[in-house]
Amino acid sequence: MSRLAGVTDLDARRKQALEAHEAAATVIAVCDGPGCNAAGSAKVAAALRRAVADAGLEGSVQIKTTGCHGFCQCAPVVVAYGDGLFFRGATPDQAPAIVEAAVNGQPIPESVLYRHPATNEPIALERDIPFYAHQERRLLKHASHIDPLQVADYLAVDGYAALARALTEMTPEAVLEEVKQSALRGRGGAGFPTGMKWELCRRAEGDQKYVICNADEGDPGAFMDRALLEGNPHSVIEGMAIGGYAIGASRGIMYIRAEYPLAVRNAALAIEVAREMGLLGEDILGTGFSFDLDIVTGAGAFVCGEETALIASIEGFAGEPRPRPPFPAQRGLFGKPTNINNVETWANIPLIIRHGAAWFSEIGYERSRGTKIFSLVGEVQNTGLVEVPVGMTLNEIVFEVGGGPKPGRTIKAVQTGGPSGGCIPASLFDVRVDYESLAQVGSIMGSGGLIVMDDRTCIVDVARYYLRFLKSESCGKCTPCREGVPRMLEVLDRIASGEGSDADIDLLGQLGRTVKGASLCGLGQTAANPVLSSIRHFRHEFDAHIHEKRCPAAVCTALITFHIDAEKCTGCTACARACPQQCITGERKQPHVIDPERCIKCGACLDACRFDAVVKE
């Protein structure tokens, strides 16, 4: 890859890339995100390449593996462009049929055809699928067009045009002003205005400054940053270079958790290519601006997402936070002014510079502008990565993009912001998903995890789950978090086992207030949110556990029993054979009985019964 001496070189390379793209009549994009990869996308891609070769179509059909498209529910996802034919759950043996459909336009074989989950109506084109149709894709717009390892793909969608524009047409102050005007706020969760953060760091005195990309995404069920880094690492690099220019930093560090090996690999390869092309390093595009990037892999501690802990981790110390001030903008990495933004924030920067602050902020709600990527998971029809305007209501996200509850179920709540966020009940789904509105209902925006729960989810159990997570992720430095979180968990365990009392709710409140108020860092200060918000919105479920010794969702094992409905039981013995305790007895073709004394409530009988005769309550 030869070095680009200036903007003309960059434009020439872009033209080249575009011409190469136009040469291929059909591009079949195979999603190689983690979900699709686990579902076998690599084999599908290989089979597709073989099928193309067998059909002698190498000249006109190109197979491309890309980052995450977002619709993980349909993994492995394959899309054929020109038109955008959508194939769900592709398998290697369907490859020839997919190639044929892609070339001829139709028909899509039934086994890989997407059908609307409610109406069962077939939908052939990607853009017609409700999951995509209700989104506003800006960051993910090219997710299915870019092979993360091919810089040409990024150039073809105007990649690095923003960097070129910033360096040649704008002063650092102008770049900063543009970012401020855009009203972009930190996508890591706290929502601090990005432009203001940059300005603090720019104004701080220091011979050396750093910009850091926080890719230590640790919330359970969140994968936005991972998808961006894996699928389009160049956009993050470009954003960081622009940030370095505006702030006056010549060095950048991407802090990526080691559990994201593909993100680490793709980012490292992208940095190498950018360096070879002269888009990183000394004298970028002949403008005299120098900026270089390194990757540091984190050992995967949730607390390292907190910026002072992250800095300590990069410096080689244990990832433990320290009190602020001094803020990293004043004294950060190695004591130098440092600006930290998360992956999604950085990825937004090139868009703002390329299209302008006005374009960016035209969508959004009140003080929250632009789009936000969420990982929509849990008990909804369509799980995956979704990008919507900030301020869309939860209703729209859950029911229109997410497709609503699974058959026969009702949605009860959504947890936003992961373990730092809160549980929002369905009755409040009119709430807009923006920083301020979510805070009002006791939750936070967070980095973008949206976990949907239906009537089979016990709120007490969910709160216990988050506290268990936080207990094991607390660094243990400060007393309220280290000692308080496990004590809250003890109390919840007591409630879940039916031994709770009303005093326990008060105790949870008192512990929660102290953990929230007195803890040292963001992890502790938000650790009580899942419990406090679920008590606030689902007090009746806590009361059912405490007073009626009953778990309404039939989840808390101490409060449920299994028995067999004699009416429905056919005596097939499937349950008795599955029972590890061998505590189900009964003659063949006669109703069976579970011995409650010996039953360990594992649920194996429930799974084994084909006649819905096993009852859990």
Partner 1 sequence: MIRIEIDGNAVEVAEGSTVLEAARKLGIDIPTLCHHAGLTPYGACRLCVVEVEQRGRKRIESSCTRPVEPDMVVRTDTDDLREYRRTTAELLVAQCPDSKPIRELAERLGVQNVRFEGRGMECILCGLCTRACQQKIGTPAISFIHRGVDRKVATPFEIQSDVCIGCGACARVCPTGCIAIEDMGNKRVLRVFNTELELQACSECGAYFAPQRMIDRLKTETEVTEGLLTRCPACRRQAIGAVLRQAMR
* Site for partner 1, rule CB under 8 A: 301, 318, 322-323, 325-326, 471-480, 482-484, 486-487, 490, 507, 510-511, 513-514, 517-520
Would you mind telling me the total number of residues written for the chain in this entry? 617
Judged by DSSP in three states, 375 sits in strand
β-strand 122-123 against 114-115: which pairing, if any?
antiparallel
The dihedral over CA atoms of 142, 145, 146, 150, expressed in degrees to the nearest 10, equals -150
Per DSSP, the residues of 502-567 read: HHHHHHHHHHHHHHHHH-SSHHHHHHTHHHHHHHHH-HHHHHHHHHS---TTS--GGG--EEE-TT
* Residue 10 beta carbon to partner 1: minimum distance, rounded to whole angstroms: 45
Question: In angstroms, what is the minimal distance from the CB of 303 to partner 1?
Answer: 8
Cα-Cα-Cα-Cα dihedral sign, residues 587, 590, 594, 595: negative
Q: At its nearest, how many Å lie between partner 1 and the CB of residue 212? A: 22
Least spacing, CB of residue 488 vs partner 1, in Å: 11
- Least separation in angstroms between CB 475 and partner 1: 5
Q: Say which residue the tokens 């004591």 belong to.
A: 335
Q: From the CB of 464, what's the least distance to partner 1, in Å?
A: 16
Find the shortest distance in angstroms from Cβ 474 to partner 1: 4
Q: Are 378 and 406 in contact (CB under 8 A)?
A: no
Q: Which residues contact 390 (CB under 8 A, 6 or more apart)?
A: 363, 364, 365, 368, 369, 370, 371, 372, 433, 434
Which residue type sits at 49?
A: R
C-beta closer to partner 1: residue 107 or 517: 517
**Residue number with CB closer to partner 1 (116 or 468):** 468
Q: How far is the CB of 261 from partner 1 (least distance, A)?
A: 23
Cα-based distances in Å from 321 to 301, 476, 519, 521:
12, 10, 11, 6
Instruction: State the Cα–Cα distance between residues 616 and 164, nearest whole angstrom.
Output: 63
Q: Which is nearer to partner 1, 322 or 355 (CB)?
A: 322
The residue among 220 and 486 lying less far from partner 1, judged by its C-beta, is: 486
Q: For residues 343 and 33, is the Cβ–Cβ distance under 8 A?
A: no
Nearer to partner 1, 288 or 323 (CB): 323
Min CB(486)–partner 1 separation in Å: 5
Closer CB to partner 1, 49 or 471, in the complex: 471
Measured CA distances, 550 to 493, 496, 561, 616 (Å): 14, 9, 10, 12
Cβ proximity of 380 and 457 under 8 Å = no
- Minimum CB distance to partner 1, residue 112 (Å): 46
For residue 232, give the nearest of 312, 343, 341 by alpha carbon: 343
Which residue, among 425, 452, 460, has the nearest Cα to 553 in the 3D structure? 460
Q: In angstroms, give the least distance from the CB of 135 to partner 1.
A: 36
Q: What is the smallest separation between the CB atom of 608 and partner 1, expressed in angstroms?
A: 38
Would you state the structure tokens that stand for residue 566, as one six-digit string?
């004699």
Element (H, E) at 214: strand 210-215
Choice between 395 and 479, CB closer to partner 1:
479
Contacts of 144 (CB under 8 A, 6+ apart): 29, 31, 66, 69, 79, 81, 126
Closer residue to partner 1, CB minimum distance, 267 or 489: 489
Least distance to partner 1, CB of residue 198, Å: 20
Amino acid type, 142 = H
Least Å from the CB of residue 219 to partner 1: 17
Tell the smallest beta-carbon distance from residue 341 to partner 1 (Å): 22
Nearer to partner 1, 300 or 356 (CB): 300
Measured from the CB atom, the residue of 220 and 591 that comes closer to partner 1 is 220
Task: Count helices and strands (H / E) in the chain.
Answer: 26, 21
CB-neighbour burial class of residue 589 (10 A; exposed 0-12, middle 13-18, buried 19+): exposed
Which is closer to partner 1, CB of 125 or CB of 200?
200
Cβ proximity to partner 1, 515 vs 564, nearer residue: 515
Complex with partner 1: residue 235 or 525, whichever CB lies closer: 525
CB burial of residue 279 (10 Å; 0-12, 13-18, 19+): buried
- Cα–Cα dist 398/33, whole Å: 22
Residues in contact with 587: Cβ distance below 8 Å, sequence separation at least 6, in sequence order: 571
488 or 579: CB nearest partner 1: 488
Cα-to-chain-centroid distance, residue 68: 11
Sort residue 579 into left (φ over 0), alpha (ψ -120 to 50) or beta: beta
Q: Which residue type is seen at 127?
A: R
**Judged by CB, which is closer to partner 1: 261, or 476?**
476
